[in-house]
Structure 1
Amino acid sequence: MPALSLRQRLLAGESAVGTFQLLDSTMVSEMIGVAGMDFVIYDQEHGPLTAETTLELSTAAQNEDVAPIVRVRENDEAEIQRALDIGAVGVQVPQVETRADAEAAVEAARFDPIGSRGLSQYVRAGGYVGSETYTDDQNDETLLVVQVEGERGVENIDEIVAVDGIDVVFLGPYDLSQSLGIPGQVTHDRVEDLMLRVCERAAETGTVVGAFADDAEIATKWLEAGVQYLTLGVDVALFTERLGDLVDDIDAPQID
């Protein structure tokens, strides 16, 4: 395992690149590591993955020194607790729009004295036997990412970043575009202006910013804007698009 956790690296000012995984395949998790990525987000919000499948995928990822993150279905105490208990090193919470939303995520993801995460050390996160420092270790190493995905969240960004226990504010360009009435237009000036506003505010407060990018060109733009936690693509799209490119590159014979 890496000497520093993903959380510690980000808080030290490093950048990290990962991707979303929807496929229930340990081989995909291993390939993400072989490719040199830092983390993988198991998407339980928009994909079919469950706690049971994510446990096996997390093991495969960690064998390749890839940090497993779970995007839970909603900002729910039980969802967040289970994602962390199975051994994910971080949790990504969707649709955080207010200070209250951010505080609820912290309560669920952090142990006392920061939050009130339910405690059992006889879980994968605790090595199945736990330790005297288990709760402190988890608070030090668990990455809490909150997704700001709408215009309302951007308007409340100062209140959200002020909540102790939040590590990363993640900008979801697709939901941002939808909240602005231009769904899917993730490179539209109005979407990018909102994202840049958050990046600028985060720089003033020392907050880590995350963002999603469909390709390397967009990814580079956001890294240059100060994004540290960069998610590049989704496994199913990357696979499908690459196959499509190969098909397009072949001059297949026409059958009469």
Structure 2
Amino acid sequence: MMNNILRKKIKNGELTLGSWITIGHPNVAEILSNVGFDWLVIDIEHNPIDISMVQTLIMTIQSKGVAAFVRVSKNEEVVIKHVLDAGADGIIVPMVCSETDARQAIDYAKYPPMGKRGVGLARAQQYGTNFESYKKWVSEDLIVIAQIEHVDAIDNLESIIRVDGIDGTIIGPYDLSGSLGKPGAFDDFDVKIALEKYIKVCKDKNFPMGFHVVNTNPQKIQEKIDEGYRFIAYGTDFLFMGDTVIKGMELLKDSL
């Protein structure tokens, strides 16, 4: 696990950049770990990556000095316990829509007395040889990010970010727009209004803002930085690969 430098950066509103891993192969994780990201997210909500491969990907990422997060499949006790026991530096919890959801995530991630996480011995605890140190790390350095991807989360944002243990939030743009009945319509008026409310609340409360910029155009990242976002995910593994080959083939076809 990483030390507390990254958690402090996130909570202090310093810029950190990461990306999204959806392909369950260590080569993909290794390639993305070599390009300068501060953190990488292993996504098990929408992808068939099992817990054994999750641990392999965590180990691969961390071996390069990069923080390994897991976007868990849901706000559920066992899956959160599994990925943390596998050694994840933090979790991104989907569909946090209320204070109750946020408190539930903390209960599942933190040991008593702060939370209710069951105690087991696995890779994170160095297979039982370093439990006391890991317990301290969970209390001080574990990163928990609430994913804001529903209009209800926007409406309840102030109460969500007040929950002790929630270190940051990140907008999931597709589901947020979907919750308004307009999936993928990022330029829609209602979607923009929801994002404006998110920005206002976070800035008023001096709470770090996050966004998953799915588009691989670097200019889109700069736009979010200019808007004040500081915890930013850039692209996905398959889009980096797909966009590159599509553009290359278009150029080739034009020259033939």
Instruction: Give me the TM-score of the superposition, normalised by structure 2.
Output: 0.92
Matching residue of 2:224: 222
Matching residue of 1:114: 114
Matching residue of 2:147: 147
Q: How does 1:84-233 map to 2 (within 5 A)?
A: 84-120=84-120, 122-128=121-127, 129-213=129-213, 214=215, 215-233=217-235
Matched AA of 1:229: F
In structure 2, the residue corresponding to 1:41 is in which secondary structure?
strand
Go from structure 1 to structure 2 and tell me whether the alpha carbon gap of 1:225 and 1:63 turns closer, same or farther (over 3 Å shift). same
Matched AA of 2:91: V
| Cα distance between partner residues in 2 of 1:186 and 1:238 | 21
Q: Is 2:20–2:43's contact at 8 Å kept on the other side of the alignment?
A: yes
Deviations along 1:72-117, one digit per CA (max 9) or x if unpaired, are 1111011111111101101111111111111100101112222111
Q: Is 1:126–1:134's contact at 8 Å kept on the other side of the alignment?
A: yes
Q: How does 1:12-91 map to 2 (within 5 A)?
A: 12-91=12-91
Q: Is 1:170–1:209's contact at 8 Å kept on the other side of the alignment?
A: yes
In structure 2, the residue corresponding to 1:133 is in which secondary structure?
helix
Runs (4+) of structure 1 exceeding 3 A deviation are 1-5, 251-254
RMSD of Structure 2 on Structure 1 (CA): 1.8
Q: Is 1:81–1:117's contact at 8 Å kept on the other side of the alignment?
A: yes
Q: CA deviation at 1:252?
A: 7.0
- Work out whether 1:235 is the aligned partner of 2:237: yes
Q: Is 2:209–2:229's contact at 8 Å kept on the other side of the alignment?
A: yes
Q: CA deviation at 1:27?
A: 1.5
Go from structure 1 to structure 2 and tell me whether the alpha carbon gap of 1:2 and 1:89 turns closer, same or farther (over 3 Å shift). closer
Deviations along 1:203-238, one digit per CA (max 9) or x if unpaired, are 222322211112322222222222111011111121
| Cα distance between partner residues in 1 of 2:255 and 2:10 | 51
Q: Is 1:21–1:43's contact at 8 Å kept on the other side of the alignment?
A: yes
In structure 1, the residue corresponding to 2:209 is in which secondary structure?
strand
Q: CA deviation at 1:6?
A: 2.2
| Cα distance between partner residues in 1 of 2:192 and 2:47 | 26
Deviations along 1:13-62, one digit per CA (max 9) or x if unpaired, are 32111111111121111111211111111110011112110111111111
Go from structure 1 to structure 2 and tell me whether the alpha carbon gap of 1:2 and 1:236 turns closer, same or farther (over 3 Å shift). same
Go from structure 1 to structure 2 and tell me whether the alpha carbon gap of 1:193 and 1:253 turns closer, same or farther (over 3 Å shift). closer
Q: CA deviation at 1:7?
A: 1.5
In structure 1, the residue corresponding to 2:117 is in which secondary structure?
coil
Q: Is 2:19–2:39's contact at 8 Å kept on the other side of the alignment?
A: yes
Q: CA deviation at 1:150?
A: 1.0
Structure 1 unaligned residues grouped into runs of 5+: none
Deviates more, 1:53-62 or 1:187-196: 187-196
Go from structure 1 to structure 2 and tell me whether the alpha carbon gap of 1:217 and 1:188 turns closer, same or farther (over 3 Å shift). farther
Go from structure 1 to structure 2 and tell me whether the alpha carbon gap of 1:108 and 1:204 turns closer, same or farther (over 3 Å shift). same
Q: CA deviation at 1:191?
A: 1.9
Go from structure 1 to structure 2 and tell me whether the alpha carbon gap of 1:58 and 1:253 turns closer, same or farther (over 3 Å shift). same
Instruction: Give me the TM-score of the superposition, normalised by structure 1.
Output: 0.92
Q: Is 1:77–1:108's contact at 8 Å kept on the other side of the alignment?
A: yes
In structure 2, the residue corresponding to 1:83 is in which secondary structure?
helix
Q: CA deviation at 1:4?
A: 4.2
